[in-house]
Chains A and B, each alone.
Chain A
Amino acid sequence: MADLRNNFVGIKSPNPFWLASAPPTDKAYNVERAFKAGWGGVVWKTLGEEGPPVVNVNGPRYGAIWGADRRLLGLNNIELITDRDLYTNLREMKQVKMNWPDRALIASIMVPCEEESWKAILPLVEETGADGIELNFGCPHGMSERGMGAAVGQVPEYIEMVVRWCKQYTRMPVITKLTPNITDIRKPARAAKAGGTDAVSLINTINSIVSVDLDNFAPNPTVGGKGTHGGYCGPAVKPIALNMVAEIARDPETYGLPISGIGGITTWRDAAEFLALGAGNVQVCTAAMTYGFKIVQEMITGLSNWMDTKGHRSLDDICGRAVPNVTDWQYLNLNYIAKAHIDQDACIKCGRCHIACEDTSHQAITQFVDGVRHFEVMEDECVGCNLCVNVCPVENCITMVGLEPGTLDERTGKIVDPNYANWTTHPNNPMARQAAE
């Protein structure tokens, strides 16, 4: 059986599934339940500085978008950091860590961007026995208006400065949580590394207005007639998160920097994808908020069974395995040619591939053959775009089949070239022409 034990910057947990800093980890009651359900670790909901805690709105805090059958695809929230007293949280964290010594317990922290504030809170956290800290430079709403959260995460110099303070004032491993609300995610990652961070975690939530209440003409969630942008998360953000994780994993300047992957992880497969793109472990929130803590059991067994099937013995066998295969567009092989193929036995004849191709793409799929409703790819028109695969409601009904080198591409009338050739050397590329001259 695959070994799922995780060692992330020295923090050990029985599996790579942590609960992200969020409502599910706000107090001992929830965290105890999470550990009982099997979660490998939690990042406790973000602590603020000593004194009167923040207050949350008393109206709705969440909004959502749904897919078919009201399956939650994206969640948006305007909740702030913990609204409980700092010492209550610290006391509970200490007790929970004592109760669950084999699980990871990380403290998420957000205090004002002043050295004294960080210097003050770090010893308090350290005293709980927490395994590490995560710096919340991500929250895009509320706290950012007060110069914290994403307001720090959007300024690489601030990140570096705060990380440096933390490394100076605590022995605990430092995980820097990054906001995706920035143009180039590599910049804050490099800054965190320069400050000495042990790891980065990403993504935090994305600035969003999830929907508009059309009766009241106000954003959702609407609080007393007004709304504000919130942090977007859930399955819909996974592609954005995967890209940002990969960008950091393959950036020469941050290569090898441990990454805790976050963003829409809902199934074992999502988790495996993050690990493959360079994450050392993953953090989950929306899936737990949608289905409860039990889903971790699907994640654990799914990951384990997949690893067994593929012969991967430990997480080290899969972490980062896809990173070398992430490249820039300009290096993609332009001599690779694929055509869509429709499995006629699996086809249910809904016609969506046809109309997608006919109306919006390359007119490469039939509707009738000999007067009978029949959907088939015309290889002399197919550019291999994959749209039909994506709109087909039946899994594996349409697949992309690569043409063997030496065979004829009926669309271009050319023989498939076995050699790798990319845009950098393509005759249509003006830069390539210049270089040749």
Chain B
Amino acid sequence: MGTTENGIVGGRLDQADYVRNFADLHPPLDDHEALVASDRCYFCYDAPCMTACPTSIDIPLFIRQISTGNPIGSANTIFDQNILGGMCARVCPTETLCEQACVRNTAEQRPVEIGRLQRYATDIAMRDNHQFYQRAEPTGKSIAVVGAGPAGLACAHRLAVKGHDVVLYDAREKAGGLNEYGIATYKSTDNFAQKEVDYVLSIGGIDCRNGQMLGRDFSISDLLEKHDAVFLGLGLSGVNALRAEGETLAGVDDAVDFIAALRQSETKADVAVGRRVVVIGGGMTAIDAAVQAKLLGAEEVTICYRRGKEHMNASEFEQDLAAAKGVSIRHWLQPKRILARDGKVAGIELDYTTLADGRLVTTGESGAIVADQILKAIGQTFEADGLGTVALEGGRIAVDAEGRTSMNGVWAGGDCIVGGEDLTVSAVANGRDAAESIHRALMAATQPVTAVA
């Protein structure tokens, strides 16, 4: 425990504590650990883990390849389905995906460590810069991919493999999207997101242009003039409002900004955090913000969620992680008013809530928590300009099963589409599948007309 100074300040801890606190959450498996872990895989037929993976990685095969001393072959199996398999190995909520489906759960309540094994294999291939793919003959087609997050990167890579030229536009300074700006620091250490971007782009044929924002620097119609197709992997740039009095006070911050600042910080000491922090929300972002606030030296961190534990989007594992790090999670509390002193946050008043006939209502009781920082993690929204006639549905881009939007020549995927799952791995699947769809569409259009004899 470092300084208990009131207010929002940096440098609460010694540098050694920052290093320790923000080290890998799950350290990589060494060779022996990987062999032991891989030996537990039963090589199931039509494996449930594979079905549970949004990118359908052949998990039994890649694990068997590890167990037989073939990590490069294993990485190839992974990357065939998911070129961002390295990041997914780190950030996937495996406890609700592949590892939940593992038959070892039925047998002994302990799944094969699929995520860590995936990291083992991909780390080896990426460390050696082992490239598995060569570009096909140039097709002469050019595709604009907007957004260099997981969906955009996966799409760009698959298109490049097919022989298309890709221009990858991204509004931010660095490519990677949420992988770079949105993942908790202890899940992506050692600048992994940028290393992965470099690895993906090394296929060639992808012209990455940063600081280019749709609606500000170009529109969809601009892109369609210059390119044969467009893929939109825009993510969610808006943040839901708290709709509570005092929301604009100093000390009320967006959790996503807080998380991004941590990721961009070299030392972490320069990231200011309150002595007492309240995080509003019940998803992964709330957990990531709360845990990291604690790791930055906040004395008390409380997550307040307006529904029950069973309604939280954060997985059981994430909730346990937060509890283990000393974060309190409180349920059935809804922000009413931010309390101020001297123009700064001094606390938060909350209404107790309950479900009445399936509707969330306040009980009439309220309480207050002392805080000098409030982090909002109550969901993100799709915001974009310059979309032209691309149809939205429920505030996000409507697509068909292949990722086609309502506008001819425009595809979309990731969090920005209807049903976007807020999962890196799902975004990768969207981007990859859209690339296949784009490829089919462009190639069908170039088929020479053959005369019927």
Contact = CB atoms under 8 A, between A and B. Distances in A.
Given A393-B107, A394-B107, A351 B44 contact: yes
Contacts of A355: 45-46
A367 B103 CA distance: 15
Contacts of A350: 42, 44-45, 47, 103
Nearest to B47: A351
Interface string A361-377: 00000010000010000
B106 to A, nearest CB: 4
B39 interface: yes
B60 to A, nearest CB: 10
Contact of A69 (B36, B44, B104): B36
B107 A352 contact: no
A250 to B, nearest CB: 38
Interface in B32-84: 35-36, 39-40, 42-48
A324 to B, nearest CB: 38
Greatest chain B CB density within 10 A among A69, A348, A352 is at A348
A373 B47 CA distance: 10
Interface string B287-328: 000000000000000000000000000000000000000000
Contacts of A68: 39-40
A348 B39 contact: no
Given A68-B39, A69-B36, A69-B39, A348 B46 contact: no
Nearest to A392: B42
Given A70-B35, A373-B48, A348 B43 contact: no
Contacts of A367: 45-46
Nearest to A367: B46
Contacts of A373: 46, 48
B48 A352 contact: no
A352 B45 CA distance: 6
Interface residues of B, number: 15
Contacts of A349: 44, 48, 103, 106
B137 to A, nearest CB: 37
Interface in A327-351: 348-351
Contacts of A45: none
B43 A352 contact: yes
Contacts of A394: 107
B39 A352 contact: no
B373 to A, nearest CB: 47
A45 to B, nearest CB: 33
Interface string B80-122: 0000000000000000000000011011000000000000000
A271 to B, nearest CB: 27
Contact of A351 (B35, B39, B45): B45
Contacts of B39: 68-69
Contacts of B47: 350-351
B144 to A, nearest CB: 41
A354 B45 contact: yes
B267 to A, nearest CB: 42
Given A68-B39, A69-B36, A69-B39, A348 B104 contact: yes
A350 B103 CA distance: 6
Nearest to B67: A68
A277 B145 CA distance: 73
A367 B46 CA distance: 9
Nearest to B104: A348
B42 A352 contact: yes
Given A69-B36, A69-B39, A70-B35, A348 B45 contact: no
Contacts of B104: 348
A330 to B, nearest CB: 36
B102 to A, nearest CB: 9
Given A354-B45, A367-B46, A348 B107 contact: yes
A348 B36 contact: no
Contacts of B107: 348, 393-394
Nearest to B39: A68
B106 A348 contact: yes
Contacts of B48: 349, 373
A69 B104 CA distance: 16
A174 B434 CA distance: 80
Interface in B10-49: 35-36, 39-40, 42-48
A120 B155 CA distance: 85
Given A393-B107, A394-B107, A352 B36 contact: no
Contacts of A69: 36, 39
B46 A351 contact: yes
B390 to A, nearest CB: 37
A393 B36 contact: no
A301 B233 CA distance: 66
B191 to A, nearest CB: 35
Nearest to B46: A351
Interface in A365-417: 367, 373, 393-394
A426 to B, nearest CB: 36
A107 to B, nearest CB: 42
A390 to B, nearest CB: 14
Contacts of A351: 44-47
A352 B35 contact: no
A367 B45 CA distance: 9
Interface string A311-333: 00000000000000000000000
B377 to A, nearest CB: 37
Interface string B179-192: 00000000000000
Contacts of B45: 350-352, 354-355, 367
Interface in B252-300: none
B52 to A, nearest CB: 12
B35 to A, nearest CB: 7
Greatest chain B CB density within 10 A among A349, A354, A373 is at A349
Nearest to A353: B45
B355 to A, nearest CB: 32
Nearest to B105: A348
A363 to B, nearest CB: 14
B46 A352 contact: no
A164 B46 CA distance: 63
A345 B150 CA distance: 41
Nearest to A356: B45
A349 B42 CA distance: 11
Contacts of A393: 42, 107
Contacts of A352: 42-45
B39 to A, nearest CB: 4
A149 to B, nearest CB: 36
A109 B39 CA distance: 42
B117 to A, nearest CB: 15
Contacts of B43: 352
A211 to B, nearest CB: 13
Nearest to A359: B45
Interface in A117-132: none
A371 to B, nearest CB: 13
B66 to A, nearest CB: 13
A355 B106 CA distance: 20
A70 B36 CA distance: 8
Given A349-B44, A350-B103, A355-B46, 7 more contacts: A70-B35, A348-B104, A350-B45, A350-B47, A351-B45, A352-B43, A373-B48
Interface of A: 68-70, 348-352, 354-355, 367, 373, 393-394
25 contacts: A68-B39, A68-B40, A70-B35, A348-B103, A348-B104, A348-B106, A348-B107, A349-B44, A349-B103, A349-B106, A350-B42, A350-B45, A350-B47, A351-B44, A351-B45, A351-B47, A352-B42, A354-B45, A355-B45, A367-B45, A367-B46, A373-B46, A373-B48, A393-B42, A394-B107
The 10 A-B pairs at the shortest CB distance, nearest first, are namely A351-B45, A355-B45, A348-B106, A68-B39, A348-B103, A350-B44, A350-B42, A350-B103, A348-B107, A69-B39
